[in-house]
A = this chain, B = another copy of it.
Amino acid sequence: MEFTAQQIADFLGGEIEGNPLVKVSSFSKIEEGKPGTLSFLSNPKYSQFIYDSLASIILVNKNFNPEKEISATLIRVDDAYQSLAVLLSLVEQTKPQKTGISELAFIASTAKIGENAYIAPFVYIGENVTIGDNIKIHAQCSIEDGVSVGDNVRLYSGVKIYNDCVIGNNCTFHSGSVIGSDGFGFAPTEDGSYKKIPQMGNVIVEDNVEIGANSIVDRATLGSTIIRKGVKIDNLVQIAHNVEVGSNTVIAAQTGISGSTKLGKQCILAGQVGVAGHLNIADGTIFGAQTGVPNSVKLPNQTLQGYPAIPIMTFHKAAIVHKNLPELQKMIYAMQKKIEELENKISSISE
């Protein structure tokens, strides 16, 4: 299918700069733009590429201010990244979708599956599982007894959901993600060994949640580990037992949240962040990459980094001085010596 710049601009409510009749049939990255493709510029780091890009149409933000002539037709929109998302979603929806339940899947007789399901070979669905409409379950997923899953959920191959967990609508879980594994709870005993605390709770995942490949949400000891609506979790993330993640919070790859901690709403955790257990993190908190969080954060909307997490400007300023430490230490020792000399001189003068 081909679309003209005019058609796309009309659809997005954008303004055209250039030839409204130019046509595109696919997408490209701006630095690899080809004729007949639509590209976008959102991150200013990539502005340099717009002037030489061969893309026929480029989505830009309304306030984009070119420094040179651009050969492509521009479509100015409020938010180029979001408009791209809209276009890509449209294209994705036109793709053929798999349907049907494979005879090579195992579905317990007591399980209930909604309408319009795709269930691939080697999927295991246990007793008393309830699944809504339009489910897509790729190969080798396992959904154990008593799990409930909403409508429009997609589980990529190899997702594992332990018994009695509850999954909302419009969720997407990527390959190898594990929902409902045992929390890490062991009581020390007198002989030095550990006694397992059975993990009797479950996991509740609300609507519109995405969970990345090989990420894990452990079940609660008692009660529920809760992922609120709209949460987006990247790959290889660890969510421990009894954690609650507030709505629309975003967690990047390889971050870990320890047991019983509550993350507020609209937080952003960058990659490789670690948050200790039994903490409360205020709404809108942003943690920079590799931050370690040993204490609760009470004031909302702060941006913190480092171990222990401190305001990011303080962190950056301290980091700059940090590498001068050997030099500063030398100065301190030299000054101490100098002060002693001055003291001696003054003493001799005073005498």
**Chain A residues close to B by CB (< 8 Å):** 27-29, 32, 39, 43, 45, 79, 81-82, 84-86, 88-89, 91-92, 102, 104, 106, 120-122, 124, 138-140, 142, 144, 156-158, 160, 162, 172, 174-176, 178, 181-182, 184, 186-189, 192-198, 200, 208, 210, 212-214, 216, 218, 221-223, 230, 232, 234-236, 238, 240, 242, 247-248, 250, 252-254, 256, 258, 265-266, 271-272, 274, 276, 278, 289-290, 292, 294, 306-308, 310, 314-315, 317-326, 328-329, 331-332, 335-336, 338-339, 342-343, 345-346, 349-350
Tell me if B92 and A198 are in contact (CB < 8 A): yes
Are A213 and B178 in contact (CB-based, < 8 A)?
A: yes
Closest CB in chain B relative to A229 CB, distance in Å = 8
Instruction: Indicate if the CB atoms of A124 and B142 lie closer than 8 Å.
Output: no
Quick one: which of B174, B184, B187, B289 contacts A292, CB cutoff 8 A? B289
Q: A27-B200, A79-B187 are in contact. Are A194 and B256 (CB under 8 A)?
A: no
Q: Do B272 and A289 touch (CB < 8 A)?
A: no
Q: A156-B162, A192-B266, A325-B317 are in contact. Are A187 and B85 (CB under 8 A)?
A: yes
The 9 lowest CB-CB distance pairs between A and B, nearest first, are A124-B139, A142-B157, A321-B325, A160-B175, A88-B198, A82-B187, A181-B213, A106-B121, A178-B213
A253 and B184 within 8 A (CB): yes
- Identify 19 residue pairs between A and B in the complex whose beta-carbon atoms are under 8 Å apart, listed by A's number: A28-B222, A29-B242, A82-B195, A85-B195, A138-B142, A138-B144, A181-B212, A192-B230, A196-B210, A258-B271, A290-B292, A310-B323, A318-B322, A321-B325, A322-B322, A328-B329, A335-B335, A339-B342, A342-B342
B326 touching A318, Cβ below 8 Å? yes
B160 to A176, Cβ gap below 8 A?
Answer: yes
Please indicate the chain B residues that have their CB under 8 angstroms from the CB of A142 in the complex. Answer: 138-140, 157-158, 175
Interchain CB contact under 8 A, A192 and B325: no
A350 touches B339 (CB 8 A): no
